[in-house]
Structure 1
C-alpha cells in the first residue's frame, strides 16, 4: 500500500510543491493533513459489501502502490521542468518499504534555467508582418525571459487572436510555431518565431484571405435544420441607420433597435472574432434568451435573394431562441419565533420582455401572519400581520465611448425598484416605502463588478406605538439610549452609493469551495446620505426641530457617510486543502443633520460571518456588556468595524468538507454614549478590546450552494479585565464559551 509521497528539489530556488500536480499517484487522503479517516471508514466496512455499501461509498479504498505510475510521474516531472525553461532537468525517486507500506520520495534536479537572449521573427505574409509589428507592445516575449513553454503558448494565442480580429478567418494555432536554438556552452536560447501558412488550412489562398462580413441573418426561434425551408416572404429587412441591412426571419421577439445594438458586426465589416464572441455572449445574457449562437460560413451564393457573394465574404447566421415571456411562482413557508407560530406566502410575476427590448419586470406580493401570545401589557387580540408589494424593472442599456457603430460597447443594466411594506405588531405599527435607481456593469473580463446607486429613497413612518412599549423602552432612559429611540421614529434617508468588487476568478461564485485557484477578492463601497437635502435646506432656510435639525415632511432626515473595504485571499495547498484569509474594515460617520447613523446602517459583530465565538449582535461595541448579560440588539451596534479571519479548509469525503478557523475583531462607536460604556474607539487601546475565537466547522457542498455548520469557542473576551475570564482559551468553559452557527454559503 502507498503510505506517503514526498517531493523535494535539489535547488532551493525551485519550489518542489509547484510540481506536485504532475505526480500520477498519491496516498490516501488525510483529514486536515493529519489522519487518514476515509481509509479507516473503508476498512471498518469489512468485506461484506452488501451490508456495508454505504460505508464503502463514504470511505476511500487503499491506494495500492504502482511502480509504473511512479515512472510516469518521473516523465511528467522532467517534461514540466523542461517546459519551464530548465532544459537539462532530471528527476528520480526512491522506494522505502516497511511491511506492507511503501513510502516514495521524488527528487527533482532542475539544473540551469535557460533564458532567451535573441528573438527573430519569420513572417512570410507582408500583411501579417505589418499587423504583428504594430501590436508588438503587447507581446509576451522579451530578451532575458525564461524559455517557458507556457509563455510561448500565450504568445501563440495572442498572435492568432490578433490575426483573427484583423479579418483572417482561416488562421489557427498551427500558423504559429517556435524554434529554440541552444548552445552546449551557454544557458542562452535563440528563439525563432515562425508565422506562416499551415497544413490545417484548406489552401494557401484562403489562408491569407482577409474576410469581411457579407450577409447577416437573424433567426427568431428557427432551428438550423429549418433554414432551407424558409420562404423569402418571411424575411424582414432591418436598416441600422448607417447603410447596413440585416435580414430578420421569424416572429420578432425584440425591437429592431434592441436586436441591432446586441450584434457587434454589420455587413461590410472586417471579420473580427472578438466581435463574434461578444455578440454571442451579449445575446445569451438577455433575460428573454434561452439559447443563442452565431454560425459563419463561406457561402458564395445567397439562394434566397439570388445574390452572389464575393469570395472573401462570410455569411453570419444568428440563431436566437427565446424563453417564455411570462412566469408566475408561489412560495409558502412556516415560521416559529420563540413558540409563536406563523406563516408567510409570496406570489411573484415576471415578464422578461416588457417593451420588446429584453427589459425584465417582476412584481412580488408578500403576506405574513404570526400568532403572538404571552406579551404582558399589550393587546392580546392583536397578532403580527405583514403585507408588502415590490416592483422591479431591469433595463439593459448600451453605452458607447463614441457614437460610432464600429466601437466596442459596454453593457450597463439599469434597475428601477419600488417597495411598500406594512407591519402591524402589538407593540407598534410600521410603514416603509423605498424607491431607487441603480446601474450595474462589469469590466476587465467580468472580473470587476460595479454598482452605482444613483439615488435611493427610504421613508419609514410609525403611525402608532403602544403606551407600554413607549414607556418601557423609548421613554425609560435607564434601559435604552438614543439609538433605540431613533430606530422607532419617523425616518427619511436619501442616499447615493458606489460599490466595486474585483474577483480574480471572474464571475464564478466566490462562495463555493475551491481547491484549485489561488484567487483573491477585493470589495470597496462608499455611500453618503442627506448632503443635497442639507444644502437645499440651508439655502432655503428651512424649518428646524427642537434638536436643531432640518426637517423634510416634518421628519429630520438622516445625514451620514459610510465606507467599507474587504479583502479575501485563497491559498491552495493541494487538491484537497486550502487556507482562506479575510480582513474587513468599515466606518460610518453621522454629521450635519444627524447625531446617530440610522440603525440599519450600523455595524454588528459576532455571528456566522464574523467572530464566531459569539452569536450575532452579541459582541461589542468595545468592551461593552449588556446589563443583564443577554443580547442587546440595539446597544450592541457601532459605527466602526474590524474583522480578521483565518480558515483552513479540507475535503473530507462525498460532499462533506471540514474547517478549522480563528477569528478576531470587534465594533466600536466614535462617540461616548452613557448607555454604552467602553464602546468608544481609541487608538491607544482598541487592540486590547479585540475579541478572538477559534473553532471547527462542517460544510455540505451541494454544488450550487454550501450548507455550513460552525462551532466557535471564545479565546479572548474583551468584556472582562481579569486574566482568567479575559482569556477563556486558557480557562475554557464549554457552557459559557461555545456558540453554534448554521448558515448558507462560506463566511467569506
Structure 2
C-alpha cells in the first residue's frame, strides 16, 4: 500500500512542463515573531488560507486523485480513446507554481484583516520548493485590533435623519466592540429595514455612509453614520398606499382583456376577476395593506408569503407604482396572481428494504383538486397499495404482508371555528383539515381493518414553530387474529389487537431552526400528546363485564406522550455531530390494560437502534424465543432512545457516518409472559441496548440514499454481568457476522 501511494505521489509531478513545480497549497503564519496570540487565531488562519489563489488540485486523504487521472490519460494532445475520456471526465490539470501571485494574495489577506479590525496589518508571502513541489507561506503581522470608541448618528430633528436617530438604540455598532466591516454592512441593512417600516419605499442601504476615524489613537475608531448627499429626493420621503388592485386569474396571454374588465370593489380592494374564480373574502386573508396607511415592509412580505404559501398560485408578483410621478407620496399596488391548474395527478412508487429481511414496494396515486369551493381550499384523494416479503438466504419465507389504503383530505386555508371568527396576522396561513381514511393490513399472524377520521388545525407561530391540534380524532380498528402460538401465549399482545375504538384528541408542537443555515448549532424538537377515551368514556355506559363500549366495541382509554429532541453541531463545513434523545410514555386506564398495537412503542430498525432488527428489541431484558412464528414485533408502553452520529463528507456527493445507538422499550406493568419487561427506575439503565457502526450516504440535496452497517456491543437480554459483548467482536468469523452484523438500507437520514 505504501509503495502504491509513493508511486501515485510521484506520478503527480512526472508530466510537469519544463522548469515548473506543482503548487500544493498555502499556509499562513500569524505573528510568528511575537508571543501574543490573537482571538480565534485558528479560525482566522483558516479563513486566510481559504482566500489565497489559486487553489491546489483536489485531494482525498492527501491523494490528488483528479491530477492522477489527468496524468493517467497520457500527455496532452496525444491521448486517445480512454485516455481522453479520463482527462475530460475525471482529470484536472496540474496547478503550477508560476500561477501563484504573491503580491495579489498579500493584498487580499491584508484587506481581510483590516475588515475585522486589524487596521495596521501587514502580510508578506514567500514560496518554498521541494521535490518539484512548491508551497506558498504567508506571514501576517496583525498589530492590535481596533475597537469602536463612539458612534455618532445624524442630529437632525426631522425627516429621514430623525428616524435613523430615533432608532439608534437598536444599533449593532456598540462602543467597546471590535471594528468589523461585516457588522457595519449589517448596520446599514438594519437602518434600511427600519426606514422601510416607516414608509421609505425607495430608500436603499447604498444611500448610507458610515465613516471611520482611526486617528484618535489608542487603537480606537469613531464611527459617523450619515445619509449620502447624493441620495435622490424620492428616497428621502415616506409613502402611503393609494389603490390596491388584485388580478387573481392573471396570465400574460390575456393581459389586455383582464386589465380592461370591470373591477369588483371589495373593502379597500379592486378585484379584477371576470370569471369569478375566487370568493372575495379570500383576499382579506392574503393582503395586509389598507388604503391610506403608510407603506411598511412587514405587510409587504406577509402578503407575498401568504399568496405563495396558500398553495393555489403558480406565480405571484407585486408592482408598486408611484402616483403622479412621485408628486403625491402615494403608491398604487397591483398584485398579479397566476393560479395553478385546478386538477393534478401524481404517481409515486417506492421500494423498501428493512433490517428484518422484509423487502417490498408501494404504489400511490394522488388526485389534487384546488380551489374546491372558490375559497382556495384543496382536496387530496389518494389510493395506495403495497406488499412486503420476507427473504432469508435468498429464499422466500413465511411472513408476507400487504396493505391497501384509501384517503381523502380536505384543507381550508383558515381557522374554521364555530361561533368565532379568528384571523391570524403572521405570514403563515393557518389550515383546517378534515381527513378520512380506510386501511386494510394483512400479515401472517393477524389482519387489521382500520377506519380513521380527524378534524383539526395546523398553523405556524413563526418560521421555526409549528402546531397541529386535532380536537376530534376517531379510529376504529377491527382485528382478525389468526392461529399463532405467539398470540395464544401472550395475552398482552392479544389485548392490544382487539377490536376497539380510539376516540380522543392529539396535539403536536414542533420547533425546528434547521432552515437557518447560518447557525453553527441547530435544534429540532417535537412533542406529541394524545388522549383517548376520556370524553367518550363519560358519555358511554359499561357492558356486562364492566367495559365502556360504543356500538358493542370497547373504547381504548390511554394517555400517550412522546418527545424527540435533536441537536446538530457543525464542527466545520464538512463535518456535523448529530445527537437525538427520543422518549415516550403511555398510561392506560379504565378499559385498557395495554396501549393499542398501533400506538405502542417499538425499538430496533434502520432509523432507531440500528444494530438490532426492526421491532424485535426488548421489552427490557426479555427476548422472544418462539421460532414457530414470523411474528416477533415487540411493543411496549415506555421508550428511551439515544443516538449520536458523526457525519462527514468523503468526496463529491458521498458522505460517511460513525454512530452509536442506545435504548430500549419497557412495559409499565409486569407482564408474566415476558419476564424482565417491566420498567424499574433502579434497573432500567442496566437494560439499555447499545449498538455501533458506520454508514455511507449518497446525498444529492433532494434525495439521500443511506447504507448503514451496525453490530451490538451490549445485549440487554443476556445474563447480568455478560451483557457487554465488546470482547466477543470477531469480524473474521462468519457465524459471528451472521448473528450480529446488521445492514440497513434507507432513504433519508435516520434523524
TM-score normalised according to structure 1 size: 0.83
Counterpart position of 2:318: 294
**TM superposition shift of 1:396:** 1.0
2:700 corresponds to 1:702: yes
Taking the aligned partners of 1:339 and 1:405, their CA distance within structure 2 comes to 51
Q: Does 1:255 align with 2:300?
A: no
Compare 315-324 and 187-196 and name the one that shifted more: 187-196
Work out whether 1:312 is the aligned partner of 2:340. Answer: no
Match of 1:23 among 51, 62, 68: 51
Superposed displacement of residue 591, structure 1: 3.4
Q: Deviations over 1:89-141 (max 9, x none)?
A: 34445533320233445454443232222221125571324433443443323
Cα shift readout 1:582-601 (whole Å, capped 9, x = no counterpart): 12131213132333233333
Q: Secondary structure at the match of 2:117?
A: coil
Q: Counterpart in 2 of 1:377?
A: none
Partner of residue 81 from structure 2, selected from 50, 56, 62: 50
Q: CA RMSD in A?
A: 3.9
Is structure 2 residue 290 aligned with structure 1 residue 266?
A: yes
Aligned to 2:542: 543
Whether the 8 Å CA contact 2:245–2:335 is kept in 1: the answer is: yes
Aligned positions of 1:151-162 closer than 5 A: 151-162=183-194
Determine the structure 2 residue equivalent to 1:747: 750
Aligned to 1:122, the other structure's residue is in SS state coil
Kept in 2: contact 1:414–1:439 (CA 8 A): yes
Decide which of 24, 30, 37 is 1:3's aligned counterpart.
24
Aligned to 1:304: none
Equivalent of 1:691 in 689, 692, 701? 689
Q: CA deviation at 1:55?
A: 5.0
Whole-angstrom CA distance in 1 between matches of 2:124 and 2:644: 41
- Compute the displacement of 1:410 (Å): 5.1
Aligned with residue 582 of structure 1, among 568, 579, 590: 579
Match of 2:167 among 131, 135, 154: 135
Please give the alpha-carbon distance, in whole angstroms, between the structure 1 residues aligned to 2:85 and 2:585.
53
Which of 509, 516, 522 is residue 500 of structure 1 equivalent to? 509
Does the 8 A contact of 2:597 with 2:635 survive in 1? Answer: no
**Equivalent position SS for 2:414:** strand
Q: Distance in 2 between matches of 1:342 and 1:520?
A: 35
Distance in 2 between residues matched to 1:293 and 1:193, nearest whole Å: 34
Aligned residue pairs total 701
Counterparts of 1:160-199 in structure 2 under 5 Å?
160-183=192-215, 185-199=217-231
Equivalent of residue 486 in structure 1, options 471, 489, 495: 495
SS in 1 for 2:111: helix
Given that 2:504 and 2:535 are in contact with CA atoms closer than 8 Å, whether structure 1 keeps it comes out as no
**Residue pairs, 1:301-380, within 5 angstroms:** 311-330=328-347, 346-367=364-385
- The SS at the match of 1:543 is coil
Partner of 1:673: 671
CA distance 1:604–1:50, change in 2 (3 Å): farther
**What does residue 459 of structure 1 align with?**
476
Paired with 1:3 and 1:331, the residues of 2 have a C-alpha distance of 48
Q: 1:128 to 1:352 in 2, by over 3 A?
A: same
Shift in Å, 1:421:
2.1
CA distance in 2, matches of 1:323, 1:112: 59
Q: Secondary structure at the match of 1:640?
A: strand
From 286, 309, 317, the counterpart of 1:285: 309
- Residue 294 of structure 1 deviates from its aligned partner by 0.2
> Is contact 2:617–2:634 with CA below 8 Å preserved after alignment?
no
CA distance in 2, matches of 1:622, 1:19: 51
Cα separation, 2, equivalents of 1:620 and 1:723: 17
Residues 1:342 and 1:611: Cα distance change in structure 2 (over 3 Å): closer
Specify every segment of 5 or more residues in structure 1 that has no aligned partner in the other structure, as ranges: 302-308, 374-379, 509-513
Following the alignment from structure 2 to structure 1, what is the Cα–Cα distance between the partners of residues 441 and 468? 30
Give the alignment partner of residue 244 of structure 2, picking from 211, 216, 224.
Answer: 216
1:237 and 2:264 equivalent?
yes
1:413 is aligned, of 431, 449, 471, to: 431
Q: Is 1:99 the equivalent of 2:131?
A: yes
The equivalent residue for 2:153 is 121
Deviation track 1:384-412 (CA, whole Å, cap 9, x = no partner) reads 77543211011112799x99999666521
Q: State the partner residue of 2:299.
A: 275
CA distance in 2, matches of 1:682, 1:155: 56
Structure 2 CA distance for aligned equivalents of residues 521 and 580 of structure 1? 12
Aligned equivalent of 1:527: 529
Greater Cα shift, 139-148 or 350-359: 139-148
More deviation in 589-598 or 172-181? 589-598
Tell me the distance in 1 between the aligned counterparts of 2:138 and 2:686: 48
Residue 231 to residue 621, structure 1, CA distance change in 2 (3 Å): closer
SS of aligned partner of 2:82: coil
2:4 maps to none
Q: Distance in 1 between matches of 2:504 and 2:44?
A: 49
For 1:700-736, what per-residue CA distance to the aligned partner results, in whole angstroms no more than 9, with x for missing partners? Answer: 2233111112222333444435669621575444333
Deviates more, 1:684-693 or 1:412-421: 684-693
> Are the equivalent residues in 2 in contact too, given 1:588–1:597 (CA < 8 A)?
no
C-alpha displacement at 1:229, in angstroms?
6.1
Match of 1:305 in 2: none
Pair 1:534–1:394, CA change in 2 (3 A):
closer
Alpha carbons 1:398, 1:411 under 8 Å: kept: no
State the partner residue of 2:643.
644
- 2:7 aligned residue: none
1:610 alignment partner, SS class: coil
Moved more, 586-595 or 12-21: 12-21
Rate the CA distance shift 1:626–1:245 in 2: closer, same or farther, 3 A.
closer
Tell me, in whole angstroms, the C-alpha distance in 1 between the residues paired with 2:689 and 2:525. 24
CA positional deviation for 1:353: 0.8
Distance in 2 separating the partners of 1:496 and 1:519: 34
Partner residue, 2:16? none
Give TM-score scaled by structure 2 length: 0.82
Query: Displacement, 1:12?
Result: 4.9
Secondary structure of the equivalent of 1:235? Answer: coil
SS at match of 2:429: strand
Q: How far apart are the structure 2 equivalents of 1:236 and 1:357?
A: 19
1:605-684 equivalent positions in 2, closer than 5 A: 605-627=603-625, 633-635=632-634, 637=636, 639-653=638-652, 655-684=653-682
Change (3 A) 1:549 1:152: farther
Q: Distance in 1 between matches of 2:464 and 2:353?
A: 41
Rounded Cα–Cα distance in structure 2 between residues aligned with 1:59 and 1:603: 51
Q: Identify which range, 661-670 or 489-498, moves more after superposition.
A: 661-670
Give the Cα–Cα distance (whole angstroms) in 2 for the partners of residues 300 and 694 of structure 1.
71
Is the partner of 1:276 in helix, strand or coil? helix
- In 2, distance between residues paired with 1:72 and 1:392? 62
Per the TM alignment, residue 685 of structure 1 is displaced from its structure 2 partner at its CA by: 4.6
Q: 1:62 to 1:351 in 2, by over 3 A?
A: same
Deviation at 1:648, TM superposition (A): 2.8
User: Once the 2 structures are TM-superposed, how far is the Cα of residue 361 of structure 1 from its aligned partner?
Assistant: 0.4
* Kept in 2: contact 1:388–1:422 (CA 8 A): yes
User: Structure 2: how far apart are the matches of 1:664 and 1:339?
Assistant: 22
